[in-house]
């Protein structure tokens, strides 16, 4: 079995992420928003990483990459972090189609949960999946998430509005004083 780690994203990850996004563009078109051509270039990824790291520096996100055998194979993030009485964030993740079905995504989600709880002191983590994304739903259920509703026409991808299931997982974080 290949190892799975997650770590904070770095500027040097740009070229690899550009290659993965380009390779899997059609495979993920159903699940992700349309992006400008620049997004699929190393420079476009460098700009995205710079923005992600700025949000991290402001305490608004924890942007990471999924690594297997020292190779970046995807991304995992905790974004839209709200502090004060909420102490929550939003979980997002993807793994390249070359590495799917090997348990990497599930292990990355488990590791992100530890970061959300131990490092970020969050009380709640939320996620969304499209109704048809049964694999992602199974991963969330495995890690203790429960669905709490459906938002109709919530997300626009591949030329159509998509329904999404909302998921939540309670953690042990406490509100900041």
Neighbour-count burial for 8-30, b at 16+ CB within 10 Å, e otherwise:
ebeeebbebbbebbeebeeebee
Are the CB atoms for 91 and 127 separated by under 8 Å?
Answer: yes
Q: Is 144 within a domain?
A: yes
Which residues is 149 bridged to in the sheet? 166
Residue 43, H or E segment? helix 42-57
Which CATH number do you get for residue 31? Answer: 3.40.630.30
Q: Is 85 within a domain?
A: yes
Q: Is 153 within a domain?
A: yes
Give the number of domains in the chain. Answer: 1
Q: Is 132 within a domain?
A: yes
pTM above 0.85, yes or no: yes
Whole-angstrom distance, CA of residue 34 vs CA of residue 158: 7
Whole-angstrom distance, CA of residue 176 vs CA of residue 153: 35
Q: Is 109 within a domain?
A: yes
Residue ranges making up the domain that contains 86: 5-170
Q: Is 177 within a domain?
A: no
pLDDT tens string for the chain (177 positions)? Answer: 679 999 999 999 999 999 999 999 988 888 888 888 999 999 999 999 999 999 999 999 999 999 999 999 999 999 999 999 999 999 999 999 999 889 999 999 999 999 999 999 999 999 999 999 999 999 999 999 999 999 999 989 888 899 999 999 999 877 766
**Secondary structure class of 134 (helix, strand, coil):** helix
Q: Is 131 within a domain?
A: yes
Q: Is 176 within a domain?
A: no
């Amino acid at each position: 079995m290949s190892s799975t780690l997650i770590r904070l994203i770095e500027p040097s990850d740009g070229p690899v992420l550009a290659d993965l996004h380009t390779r899997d563009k059609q495979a993920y078109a159903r699940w992700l928003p349309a992006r400008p051509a620049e997004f699929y270039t190393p420079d476009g990824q460098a700009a995205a990483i710079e923005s992600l790291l700025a949000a991290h520096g402001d305490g608004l996100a924890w942007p990471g990459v999924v690594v297997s055998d020292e190779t970046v194979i995807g991304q995992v993030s905790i974004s839209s972090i709200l502090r004060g009485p909420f102490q929550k964030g939003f979980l997002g993740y993807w793994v390249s189609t070359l590495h799917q079905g090997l348990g990497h995504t599930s292990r990355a989600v488990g590791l992100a949960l530890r970061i959300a709880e131990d490092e970020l002191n969050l009380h709640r983590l939320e996620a969304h999946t499209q109704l048809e994304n049964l694999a992602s739903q199974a991963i969330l259920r495995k890690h203790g998430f429960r669905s709490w509703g459906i938002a109709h026409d919530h997300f626009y991808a591949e030329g159509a509005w998509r329904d999404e299931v909302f998921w939540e997982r309670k953690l042990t974080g406490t509100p900041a004083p």
